[in-house]
Structure 1
């Protein structure tokens, strides 16, 4: 039984180590997809998109009639006229009324139609805003991802350099024992190894910070173990630099989201002008109302002769003076009629058309039109500025990419030369024809050349991605 428990514990520990060893490593595509789904700014713009759709629902609702119902029940307490006898009495009476009102816009200066068109354009604009934010986040993720790859390769170079210098220190000790080099060279090499350790620590910290930056950009809750897939990033073979810059600008003007946003804003401003002008025109409204009421007072259900005062004089006959009398009756009171019967008997309807013609409104309509025209001009200027900015950005990106390509090619040539120089210096140092200072100089220049190759490589990759992006080429192929 004890052996069984130990075996179970070993299985659990093995599975734990195995799951730890299989820590997820993210690809570039996974990072971009996750950022698009979880970025807070993208979520906020998605809510703006939902708000635009609600505004469209409001615009559609303007074409529909408005229907309102009302009902009231009241108590009158104190001296009131009895609606049955016509006499003033101290009493409590109750009344109930109900009604329904319907109004519909028949013509409103085309304001409802233009509001609907504006709402549709607002949805398009918010969708463009969402796309623009997704593009910006994608580029930021690519940049952060490449920074991690760069720092990983830099760390690898520092580890290899530390291993090389450590091995060189062992070789130098052998040369010291053989009397080929002086003891002072050993101290210099030890200092070089210590400097390598410092560079290694700095590279490790830079890699950690770059991982944290990307994890925070993705807004991961558990980013302590975040890492990306390992592998050498190959410089892409892109033909984008073979394109004429003007062709890239023209393509960008067709595809870039910021221009589509500016163009849509101009269309929205044009609709605002039409809506403001619609106030100048008459408004024709159709209306219909239905009302009914009920009372809770006693009602007259019949009459009987008045025994105490059977007749009353209403006049005299001319000539004879004879009295003209009429019989007096007393009402027979009964309970109130049924409520629903009263509602049916007392119902009434009212319908018709209402025409409202604007004559003077204190310059409000005119000022609104003027403000809308100014906003339209602002949006047109913003569109022109966006076109200028895009053209300048594309030309700058083209020039930067071409410069990055040349820098990378030059760095490769320098690296090959520094590598050959280091091998030559190593041979001379090992036979005592070069001092340790000159050898360290050759070694430092080789390390700098390695670092410059990595820096220019990833700078060229990122700038190529940006230029391709303006030309309509996706950031990565799915």
Structure 2
């Protein structure tokens, strides 16, 4: 009984492992896996952790400092004694103390440094979000490329089956004397050409899967595959919005603009921090010190108690002249502020141009897709008409093959236009503010 249970567990484990290997990935799973494992995103997350440490550093400027010290000194050598002359003496001294300091006023430098650290942390979060958006878009594009190559292969295989059936039908017509043998040879040549096209399409599909697997850092390339679903054109409701409305939403939601805005705010804080150098600094201090010497009649504890002392007070430091150092720091900070303002304007212009181009691409791809569908319908009708004429001997094999090739090209154009349209819609949705987690096909 025990052996049966163990064997059952092994079989079930193997079946589960096999099922895991042959898992078909959806777009959402691919995007989430990339977000969880992408190296650039992990580095971005580490950058956000660094900014949290910087915030704690800035917060520490408000807190008092406390330092303890202890020292034991041994002195040995000849010393002059007025009574006995030179003697070889050895003395051991002990000392210790505690020092505390607190910045009372520093021209608001500490407050402004903490504010800057907060802005830096927010900017790091926006940069991380921008990384995630770019990775998600890259995954979506690579995923759609897999779908395109797979659907293209399916079209070629279907046409290959039709060509094979056409060979049998033509063979019967040739045997009956209705068609010349040259027509059969023409179709057989087409069949072999399609074999080459299928091999090329299979290679393209394998490479597309490999690219996606590498992007996701999946090691099991051979068993990696995407979900086998009928991917229809999604609702293009995003195009119901005007391009101006999409641009406004992009300005409010896109991380590129938020990063530029945060960088400008950081530069503004840098100017204020630099100006703090003009202000006086007030610090408070408290010191406690004591000492003792070994090899004396008085007990060490008593010495530490008798010889201790404290000092406390407030110090004021007023900057008068420092070789234009503070002034130069302020000027540099102001220049960086102007640069950040220019960068913010440039970011808005770039984003606006990208949105307009994406909107135009989406509109154009929709028109191209609809035109490709109409062309396909026309090619299907023309092919059916040509097939009827070919079957009764009114059309030679060369002209018939030309009509069929036009049909294959029309089907490929539909597939290409379809996935290009889907991708352009996804890009526009991201600019509109649709979260990465809600990207769907």
Distance in 2, matches of 1:429 and 1:15, equals 57
Distance in 1, matches of 2:282 and 2:339, equals 34
Distance in 1, matches of 2:193 and 2:18, equals 33
Distance in 2, matches of 1:224 and 1:113, equals 57
Distance 1:149 1:43, change over 3 A: same
Confirm or deny that 1:27 pairs with 2:26.
Answer: yes
Distance in 1, matches of 2:13 and 2:61, equals 64
The answer to whether the Cα contact below 8 Å between 2:426 and 2:439 also exists between their aligned partners in 1 is no
Q: Which residue of 2 aligns with 1:56?
A: 55
What is the CA distance between 1:477 and its match in structure 2? 5.9
Is the deviation greater in 440-449 or in 69-78?
A: 69-78
What are the equivalent positions in structure 2 for 1:394-409 lying under 5 Å apart? 394-409=355-370
What is the CA distance between 1:12 and its match in structure 2? 7.2
Q: Which residue of 2 aligns with 1:270?
A: 268
Which structure carries more relative contact order (alpha carbon 8 Å, separation 6+)?
Answer: 2
Is the deviation greater in 173-182 or in 46-55?
A: 173-182
Distance 1:287 1:81, change over 3 A: farther
Confirm or deny that 1:447 pairs with 2:424.
Answer: no
Count of residues in correspondence between the two structures: 435
Secondary structure of 1:286 counterpart = strand
Q: Which residue of 2 aligns with 1:460?
A: 421
2:226 is matched with which residue: 225, 228, 232? 228
What is the CA distance between 1:112 and its match in structure 2? 0.2
Distance in 2, matches of 1:158 and 1:461, equals 22
Q: Which residue of 1 aligns with 2:291?
A: 293
Distance in 2, matches of 1:158 and 1:225, equals 23
Secondary structure of 1:289 counterpart = strand
Distance in 2, matches of 1:288 and 1:36, equals 52
2:299 is matched with which residue: 322, 335, 338? 338
Q: Which residue of 2 aligns with 1:310?
A: none
Distance in 2, matches of 1:111 and 1:387, equals 32
Distance in 2, matches of 1:75 and 1:368, equals 48
Distance 1:89 1:9, change over 3 A: closer
List runs of 5+ in structure 1 lacking aligned partners: 299-335
What are the equivalent positions in structure 2 for 1:365-376 lying under 5 Å apart? 365-376=326-337
What is the CA distance between 1:145 and its match in structure 2? 1.1
Secondary structure of 1:77 counterpart = strand
Distance in 2, matches of 1:14 and 1:55, equals 51
Distance in 1, matches of 2:72 and 2:433, equals 69
- When Rg is computed on C-alpha atoms for both structures, the one with the higher figure is 1
Q: Which residue of 1 aligns with 2:137?
A: 139
List runs of 5+ in structure 2 lacking aligned partners: none
Confirm or deny that 1:40 pairs with 2:1.
Answer: no
1:186 is matched with which residue: 164, 184, 187? 184
Distance in 1, matches of 2:388 and 2:122, equals 69
2:205 is matched with which residue: 207, 211, 216? 207
Distance in 1, matches of 2:79 and 2:330, equals 56
1:258 is matched with which residue: 256, 259, 265? 256
Q: Which residue of 2 aligns with 1:316?
A: none
Q: Which residue of 2 aligns with 1:75?
A: 74
Question: Which aligned runs of 4 or more in structure 1 are off by greater than 6 angstroms?
Answer: 8-15
Q: Which residue of 2 aligns with 1:65?
A: 64
What are the equivalent positions in structure 2 for 1:81-92 lying under 5 Å apart? 89-92=87-90
Distance in 2, matches of 1:365 and 1:287, equals 26
Distance in 2, matches of 1:14 and 1:174, equals 53
Q: CA RMSD in A?
A: 2.2
Distance in 2, matches of 1:360 and 1:194, equals 89
Distance 1:150 1:384, change over 3 A: same
Secondary structure of 1:90 counterpart = strand
The answer to whether the Cα contact below 8 Å between 2:102 and 2:283 also exists between their aligned partners in 1 is yes
Is the deviation greater in 395-404 or in 85-94?
A: 85-94
TM-score by length of 2: 0.94
Deviations 1:205-253, CA, capped at 9 Å, x for gaps: 1111111111111112333311111011110122222211111111111
Deviations 1:307-346, CA, capped at 9 Å, x for gaps: xxxxxxxxxxxxxxxxxxxxxxxxxxxxx32222211111
Distance 1:182 1:9, change over 3 A: farther
Distance in 1, matches of 2:235 and 2:288, equals 77
